[in-house]
Structure 1
């Protein structure tokens, strides 16, 4: 099951949607169980109080209610997909990113920073930096410059 299919799936009935949302509230494992320990620590979620974590989980339930049945049925498949990792290097001199930067990798792939409000910017000067691209739980890719431990959201364009 691809993340695009999860995101595009809709339920046919608003009544069914309400019922599934209630079921998910009872069955939702919580963000801590959906992330691995490293992701949980890096995200800073370990700093949240129990009541803050509960509020975040409640928000996630509401946000994903339309996909709740598929998410519950496919948590393991999605988690397996998130283990996929691409390792490569950016070709040539890398100067950082500015909101819509393209990343030309040695493996032939081209990725682009997902345009973000305010244009996430980071300036650096490196030659052929090594990168890892991981897919998160929601099926979105994140590029990390290994030597600097700096990350940005990306999408593959080639």
Structure 2
């Protein structure tokens, strides 16, 4: 499990190492005026050579602001995707929230070592003994954070909970 966690952390950090330079490169491009980003032929073909200096400055200001805003949105979106995919594995910002989903297929109660597949693609393994003897199909479950990075699985309508750890 430690190896899996190390690999996931490495992948996430590698992704961050890729996003940061891309965002910085995008920001550097945003600081260039349009007349430097385009060839002279492209500039003329777009009719931008007809703009006054003031009009060109306004266009550059708008383009730079838009590019910076869209880059910030894309960076934030990528970070949110990484956080969602890592939920249950890593704690990014000190906030761990419950995960609400459905178990895929039949649920035959709790049993230590059993792996539970959720409809969101996550898989959780029961890490300690807990017993609940029921037969349900696709029940709603909650993965609730506990102390010391622990997680508990609760099946809707039942009071018994099982300690679990995310494996996928």
Short-chain TM bin: 0.3 to 0.5
Larger strand proportion of the pair: 1
Q: Choose 1 or 2 for highest CA Rg.
A: 2
**TM (normalized to structure 1)?**
0.45
Q: Relative contact order, CA 8 A, sep 6+: which one is greater?
A: 1
**TM (normalized to structure 2)?**
0.42
